[in-house]
Amino acid sequence: MADSSNLTDLSPGATLENQTFVGISLKGRELEDIVFKHCEFTGCEFDSLKARNLVFSHCRFYEKDSETACSFKFASLKDCEFTDCDLTLCDLSRCNLYQCRFHQCQLSGSRFGDTSNELTLTASVSMHGLSFTDCNLAYADFSDANLAETDFSGSRLSHVQLDRANLTDAVLTDCELHDVSGEDLILRGADLRGATLGGLDVRLIDVTDVRVHSEQATILLETLGMRID
């Protein structure tokens, strides 16, 4: 087992493997260039953490028996990677996740409210970057999130909250989008080809320039009460 001092004192380039962290707080700390493999984090607080180039591989941030998750509220994570990690019910609200990558992760019930993937360069110039590929995001909350250009390809997004979220130019190819809540959702220019769209009410969504296959267009038009003969 390790405590928070073992983490904050780590030099860039360190690797931690098969370690367990319980109830540690890294609130407001800074971490850079550290690799975590097969580590477990139970009830840990990463709120307001400033991190760059962290790699988490096969790590758990959720304890199933006690249903205890970790918190990342207000964290700034840049160029961080999560592969095959369990972040069930974790709170990542009001984070900045610029150029972070989540691949084959369990994120069901996680919270991303008001989270952004934006890097501001000047008052008029900004960049976007974030990916959730082949992830389980069922029942996650992305309300009010600014996630333009995010890659969600191959992910499960059933029962997700997307109210007032900005997914302009997002990639949602081959996603599962059953029973999504998307009041005032912005999907301008998004790629929805191959996604399952049952329950997606386009009357509440900005779908300007959205890309879909022809058979998907029929499904979307049916939500408007139109019949295709």
φ/ψ of 63, rounded to 5, equals -105, 110
CA distance 153 to 200: 17
Strands 81-83, 126-128: pairing is unpaired
pLDDT by residue for the chain (229 residues), tens digit each?
Answer: 444 446 767 788 899 999 999 999 999 999 999 999 999 999 999 999 999 999 999 999 999 989 999 999 999 999 999 999 999 999 999 999 999 999 999 999 999 999 999 998 777 778 899 999 999 999 999 999 999 999 999 999 999 999 999 999 999 999 998 889 989 999 999 999 999 877 677 777 887 888 887 776 676 666 655 565 5
SS (H, E, C) 77-134: EECCEEECCECCCCECCCCECCCEEEECCECCCCECCCCECEEECCCCCEEECEEEEC
| Number of alpha carbons in the 13 Å side-chain half-sphere of residue 81 | 10
Residue in the block written with tokens 């971490």: 31
